[in-house]
Amino acid sequence: MRTKPRVKHDPGRGALRPAFPVHEAPTRTIMQKMKVFAAGLAMAALAAAPAQAMAQDGGVTLRGGITNYSSTVEFLGLSESSGSKLGFAAGISLHRPLSSVFSIQPEVLFVQKGGEDDDPDLGLAEFTLNYVDIPVHFRVDIPLDGNARPFVTAAPFVGYLVSASDTDTDEDPKDFLKDFNYGLVIGGGVEFGRLSVQVGYDMGRANILDDDEFQDELDDFFGGGSLNFTTSGFVLTGGIRF
């Protein structure tokens, strides 16, 4: 897949989550009522303890894992997607409970996106986009007995392109790409105490291609139009909370 998607004259690659009765003396009756009241408070405290612990169970989590992304180019109603490419992700997340079930989880992640194109004649070309993404997850925990705590998430995100590379060209791909990306991530995971596993599907919504670099060629050969270049993929990470 080329950094600069082909137009007609370019022969290269293209990737176009209790009450009871009392019968005792008054003094003893009062003492018993006090004991019952105290016992009731204790039972209420015990019943609320798991929810309170969960609500206060925030913290910072270090995350790391793998990614699997592809890229799609759309032009004049046609689209072409690259093959998927493995990469890695690493970063930090902050868990802030709003209740025993709902919480927010902002993250800062370094994420490798991109794709690859395996051409029989030209060989394998890999296209790598290195982003710093900032998703803000809205998280819903699913209460279960035991130590495991599953959850589902949904998050808008913005990303900044740090660097890019393409094994199929000597040009810097960043010259033809916009600095910012945005989209939506949906997913889920499970926590086991301080450890967690989380997976998300990243749906990039921004056209990250700088159209201005190609507009003259599009006008000359196709009479106008625009290219739309997006990324999508999976991010699987493990984490440990501190």
* For the chain, domain boundaries: 25-56, 57-241
Phi and psi (nearest 5°) for 45?
A: -65, -40
Q: Distance of CA 198 to CAs 107, 129, 239, Å?
A: 12, 22, 8
**How far apart, in whole angstroms, are the C-alpha atoms of residue 134 and residue 148?**
27
- Name the architecture of domain 57-241: Beta Barrel (2.40)
Please state, in angstroms and as integers, the Cα–Cα distance from residue 66 to each residue in 11, 35, 110, 150, 221, following that order.
33, 57, 11, 20, 40
- 187 closest CA partner among 195, 177, 174, 196: 196
pLDDT number for residue 215: 67
Of residues 30, 51, 52, 32, the one with CA closest to residue 40: 32
Q: What is the pTM of this model?
A: 0.74
**Residue 170 pLDDT:** 77
pLDDT tens digit string along 133-169? 999 999 999 998 888 999 999 999 999 999 999 987 7
